Structure 1
Amino acid sequence: MGRSANREVAGVDAPRPKVCRIASEDEASELAHRLLVPGRRWPVVVLTIPAGYDQPFGDPDEIKQAVGDLAEVVLMPTSDVSWAFSRVMPTMTQVYGGAGRVYPVDHAWVSDPGRSRLRFAYSPDDRKRITDQLISDALQAAMAAGLVEPRPRSESQQRSGRVQGVIGSRALVTLEDMSAATVWEELTLPGVTLDQVLVKGQSVAGSYDRDSRRLDVRAALRFTDLASALEGVNEAYETGDAVLAEVAAVTDDAVTVRLLPGLAVEVGREAVTTNPIDTLSGLFSVGEIVTGRLVALEPLRMRLDDVDDEERPKPAPSLLAGGPPWLRPPAPQPPAVAAPSPPAHSPPLAAPPSPGVRNVAPRQPTPLDLVRLLSPAQQPVMARPTEAMPVWEQARVAQLSNELAAERATRKALADELTGLRGRAAELEAECAQATRSIGQLQTRYRGADLARQRLIKQLKSAQSRVDQPATAGEPLFLDPEEQFRYEVTCEWAQRVPAAEKAAKPLATYVLNPDFLDSVEKLEGISRAKVVAVVVEVLTGQAQHLAGRDAHQLRTGEAGTSYVRRPDGATCWRVALQRESAAARRLHYWRTQGGYELSRVVLHDDYRP
């Protein structure tokens, strides 16, 4: 291991061709230091051997054969060796006890251990699962590091064939000479499952590696950059279409969805729900497929609040010629059925305990209790005192024999308890996965109900508008622009703040800067309704408590400089109308002794008061 640690420094451009075994504490510490030093050029897979075993639960040789020269594979025992490794590694990034972990080239995992997922194994029965997981993690890390180029290598061939089926993260392909090849999910597109790219019967072509029998189809993938993705959206859709999108990120005030891999659109709260108590992070889950309406193509804008349940979205584009739509509508979920209650006369049923988990904690066993648990074949052969021994030696032999028996019994009891805990851990993982699926289903049902509510509100408002104001629909109600704006602010406040809270959240006194209304009219990319809504949040004091508004005082320069202040003592403040964009809009206003003065609506990079 000492020599392998310096392979990159010495100019070697590939990891060791075989599994590297860590045998000493010094080697373990050296490995940890090497993982933490920036500049490492390939991922490192660390698989551990559980205590009391000679071999790991995963298969290090199969991992090495699968990743080849794209990653290093290291095998380490759980002992003082793994403790030496753990002492050097940051908290939550260690690995031991039969688990495995892939350490990517990017050092983001040091501060965010979730980027280096810990893969558990509890028995030899988990061999295939943990082996496949570590192979997948290693290949994804190699892709992210740029080690897998989408162009054929000198020893590769251009081959074509037909997909026979997709099983999990692998697709079986029969080549033109009837030989077999596989397409690996990790070597296609990050964040895209293989069944989003390939389908049974599809014709494919790519670079074929004879050693691994992998077929690399990335050179034929469509929409691999922003320009081609935008072109693909313009070819597939028209303004006003109902389209499918995948949730890529979500905050309380915005949800980011992908129309194609690498092409994301941020949808603000105002285009999702009108319910003021909703938070978008409670309505959406990352990875969920949703239906929205394409409002504009240049720039790309979407709404998620005006698609009827009966409206079928347009098919999503295929990522590979002849392939399936890369997004499919989610399958309808059956309504939840409550479990039937037992008859009133029935006695209560006792829930069966989970395997390996006791309902009542037993008393601490004594050494004699533990010895009795052993079968006769397991009973230790104790040294028998002889009459030739002095009395004190006989007593000492008897004492040591009892201690030995107790120690052996304790080890067996602990081993049984560990088996039970491993079984319970597997059950909890399954329960967690089921709970996650249930949350997604409930979110989908709630959004469907909320969209129906919003449609009914719109229909009601439309009907009222036709009855009450047939001649002025869509027209300003005041000739003076300032009076019109104040009217809109008052209406927004009246509709947004519940009657019971109006006394506690009154509209503060405010004036309009002479340039304010001009900035609202001239600045594109933000609706007037959004400006009015944020003004109400400012005047009622809510903006200070909303993380999405990022309310803060305006400075005269970079961080650390003084705040902008007028001779009359007023201070200039800034709140976000939009987020995470250089062109995101901001609202500037002054806090004065008498209330507020709305100054201007500006772009993110405009810091003038």
Structure 2
Amino acid sequence: MTHADVTTPADADALAARILQPRERPLVLVSTDHDGGYAFDVDRLRAELDGIADVITLATGTASKRLESLVPPKTQVFNGAARSYPPDFGANPNWTRSHLRFPGQAGTDDLIHDAMAQTGRRTVESAPGPGIRRARGIVQGFVADGTRAIVRLDDGTAVTATATLLPPDVPLIAALVVGEPVSGVLEGGELHPEPLVPDLDVFTDGAHTLALVVKVTELRATVQLHPRLPVVLRRRDVGAEDRPVSDLLAVGDVVRVRVHRKPGGEIALSVADADPEAPLVPPLALVAGGAPWLSEDRPRPSDSGTDAEQPASAAHRDRGAEPATRHDVAALAHEVAALRSDLLALTNLVARSNGSNASNSGAESQLRAENERLRAHLAQEKAERAGAEARLAELSEDRRETGRALRDARRAAERAHVDPTPEGIRLEIERTWGIRTAPGERTRWPLREYSLGPGFIDSLAGLDETQLSKAVRACVDAITGRDREIPARELHRLRTGEGGDDAYVVRADGGRCWRSSIEQNAPGARRLHYWELPGGVIELSRVVHHDDTRP
């Protein structure tokens, strides 16, 4: 049984400091159960996250209780559970940024995905393989309270979209737009859209765009250009100097705003001086291949009473697409979301009207009647949706079973024997680079020109599959130059002797010899020696034991 890394209160003190201090990599923490065992595969975590995340084990008991007293609420780990803390967790130690994974409800794959997502990379599941590829389609609607969407792919296949790769503050129902395209990583019957980093440079000083109202009081309103970019508007910003801001804006409104860039690049917004005729800078898309998350033709909730038969829509509805039938699962869920939005808006209007004088009694009665009609409509839609979701649940279970079988097959293929020949190693280097390097990183970390030295293949003899995989990852980091930014590689120039003043090893052709760590904390931990030639070409020299310092 593997002994836990953190077993005493003193160990827990050091671990808490490490969790809350800035780090270069995620920290995956796995706790023991009461018997001292692990529900997650610690060895596999360390193998697949080597050089990407630090994996630490924690003994449940006095050490876990001490850690609980030192970290923010809901961010502790004990009794067999595990979680991954992002590198900047201490700057915003919110438990929603570090999902707790319970034994029996999550697996080792979930922890690997969490850590990879916190580095901005995709997990191995995102790599091309059986049933796993990039795909594109059109959003048909939402189900499961907006936490899943139905997407019809370009080949006509219908799949469900999930928020697996999205951060908690970017909900799926905000990121996807019904009737508009989206792309992502397709795994079995599930599409995983990938989040986009908001690019504020598109909003120049004086530009006009759209913002979503998310909070309103009498004195101010909060709007968003992106779910992660809230901006506070005061009375003067909305033209409400002599009246409450809540008289002009309501939660859920999509409004035109004018952008003002302050010194230093900070953004301020104004509704009051926005030109209704000015061209708009398109709102940001939240996911790769997706449409702008806001639309100017989204109706205000207060306009919903104009048509007795058609309730006002929620965000993103009616972008020119034909509405789906009532019996379509996606349309049912989308309609329920719309009704809930309208019901909340009307309830707020009724509450505000209670303080009005007697001349408003007719309007109040009309609003109350509309409120009751929407309640009845919502109840009917819920009943229809319940049956549809039951059928969807059966289909989802089938997809999950198929997905598990595909993942098992893919893992078996990935762990197949790697042919330690020049052709086999080159193929493995290209495959590993494709898996470990996200599309957005490939221009920064290209697979540069490289060659295999005369003794390289022979130096691989005796390596088992795990050691060979680690060696290939070190080779990829050397070829791309990424080893210079990975502390665990312990990269340094090879010297002619043991002394710190001894000359560096330089070949007659000007090549410089570098030494990079393949393994850590293991007997005879292996190292990679490689030459960096003039012009940037990399020549992989040998894989050696720790004590072997020959080039």
TM-score class, shorter: 0.3 to 0.5
TM-score (norm 1): 0.33
Decide which structure has the larger Cα Rg and report it: 1
Query: Greater relative contact order: 1 or 2 (C-alpha under 8 angstroms, separation 6 or more)?
Result: 2
